[in-house]
A and B are shown apart, each in its own frame.
Chain A
Amino acid sequence: DVKVTQSSRYLVKRTGEKVFLECVQDMDHENMFWYRQDPGLGLRLIYFSYDVKMKEKGDIPEGYSVSREKKERFSLILESASTNQTSMYLCASTWGGGGEKLFFGSGTQLSVL
């Protein structure tokens, strides 16, 4: 079974801190995604990557950056965390060439105080 692992289940940070959220998948998937999930708003795409060192902005990229130096790892970076970035962050991956099924990690609940 595909495994998508997010490094932290819960994270508490202070305003202004630099925050790294890590995601690793073990199925050689080309495509990886970062979503945030907020009550009443569903899942909103922050960034996605279709290959190593390649990235595209999603719907809400402001305040975030990403890094994909290796195929299996996709990192989400909050350069200067703010309270409005308190949210559940979900990483997902899928294979290229028309892969239809997204595989999700268990999520990281980030609280910015």
Chain B
Amino acid sequence: TQLLEQSPQFLSIQEGENLTVYCNSSSVFSSLQWYRQEPGEGPVLLVTVVTGGEVKKLKRLTFQFGDARKDSSLHITAAQPGDTGLYLCAIRGGSGTYKYIFGTGTRLKVLA
């Protein structure tokens, strides 16, 4: 059983469209991270959310941590081809550990 479920698995949209991807679990987390992995590169951290209900914005990207700290969403406004990549959510495996657990990812393609 996957601890972190991401949906959708794949998404192909036109430039200028909006989209939302989700990261869900039955467990409560102290914090959650979102990474983006561009083709041919390793993942790069976009944001860390810590407080239930927290909303963080990074230009056209809006990240939300669920009130119960079991889920998170990433909303992209007016997607651009540069947003193409694999979006991964991740959590620490537990207090006192540096083991990070990743979701299966959402692969986004934005067509010009």
Residues of A that sit less than 8 Å from B by CB: 4, 31, 33, 35, 40-45, 48, 50, 56, 58, 90, 92, 94, 96, 99-102, 104-107
On chain B, the number of residues with a Cβ less than 8 Å from chain A's Cβ atoms is 23
CB distance from A26 to the nearest CB of B (A): 15
A56 to B99, CA, bound (A): 10
Q: By the criterion CB–CB under 8 Å, are A90 and B42 in contact? A: yes
Task: Report whether over half of chain A's contact residues are helix, strand or loop; otherwise say mixed.
Answer: strand
| B78 interfacial contact with A, CB 8 Å | no
Q: By the criterion CB–CB under 8 Å, are A41 and B42 in contact? A: no
Chain A minimum-CB-distance residue to B43: A104
Which chain B positions have C-beta within 8 A of A33?
98, 100
Answer whether A42 and B105 are a contact pair too, CB < 8 Å, given A48-B98, A104-B44: yes
| B64 interfacial contact with A, CB 8 Å | no
| B22 interfacial contact with A, CB 8 Å | no
